[in-house]
C-alpha cells in the first residue's frame, strides 16, 4: 500500500468544497507513469451538480493526457472507510478498469481492494457492440 498515495488523497481532501454536507473527500489517482492526479469533492447548492473527488481526479488525469492507471486512494474523515459511490464506480471502471482501490481515513485506517469487488458485472463499452 502506498503511503505517498494515501497522503496525497488526505491532502486533496483539504481542498474540498463541502459547505452543505461538511463531508470532505479526497482522491489520488496514480497513472502508469507514476504521476499522481488528485481531486476533491465539490458541492453545489442543487446537490445534483455536485461532483465527487474520484471523478475530479479521473477527469483531471484524462484532461492531462493520462490513459492508463494502476490505483486510486480515497480519503474521508469517517470511522468506517468510505467506498466510491455508484457513479464513481462506473467512471472508474470505464476509464481505469479493474483498478486497485485504497480506502483510507484520516486516522490512518486502510483497506485495499479491486474495483471488481465493488462493481460486479459492470456495464461498459463492450455491451454497445
Identify the segments of the chain with pLDDT beneath 50. none
CA–CA separation, 70 vs 108, rounded Å? 21
pLDDT given at position 124: 87
Among residues 30, 54, 64, 68, which one is catalytic? 54
Domain ranges within the chain, ordered by starting residue: 3-121
3-state secondary structure of 2: coil
**Would you identify the CATH topology of the domain 3-121?**
Cytidine Deaminase; domain 2 (3.40.140)
pLDDT given at position 31: 97
Phi-psi region of 52 (alpha: psi -120 to 50; beta: other; left: phi over 0): beta
Looking at the chain, the whole-number percentage of residues with pLDDT higher than 90 is 92
Instruction: State yes or no: is 94 an active-site residue.
Output: no
Q: How many helices (H) and strands (E) does the chain have?
A: 4, 5
pTM exceeds 0.85 for this model: yes
pLDDT given at position 98: 97
Chain length of the chain = 129
Amino acid at each position: 500500500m502506498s503511503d505517498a498515495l494515501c497522503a496525497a488523497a488526505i491532502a486533496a481532501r483539504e481542498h474540498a468544497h463541502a459547505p452543505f454536507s461538511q463531508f470532505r473527500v479526497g482522491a489520488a489517482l496514480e497513472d502508469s507513469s507514476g504521476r499522481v492526479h488528485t481531486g476533491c469533492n465539490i458541492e453545489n447548492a442543487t446537490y445534483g451538480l455536485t461532483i465527487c473527488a474520484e471523478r475530479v481526479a479521473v477527469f483531471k488525469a484524462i484532461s492531462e493526457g493520462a490513459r492508463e492507471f494502476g490505483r486510486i486512494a480515497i480519503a474521508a474523515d469517517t470511522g468506517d472507510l468510505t467506498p466510491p459511490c455508484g457513479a464513481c464506480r462506473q467512471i472508474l471502471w470505464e476509464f481505469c478498469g479493474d483498478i486497485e482501490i485504497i480506502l483510507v481515513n484520516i486516522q490512518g485506517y486502510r483497506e485495499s481492494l479491486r474495483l471488481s469487488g465493488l462493481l460486479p458485472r459492470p456495464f461498459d463499452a463492450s455491451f454497445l457492440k
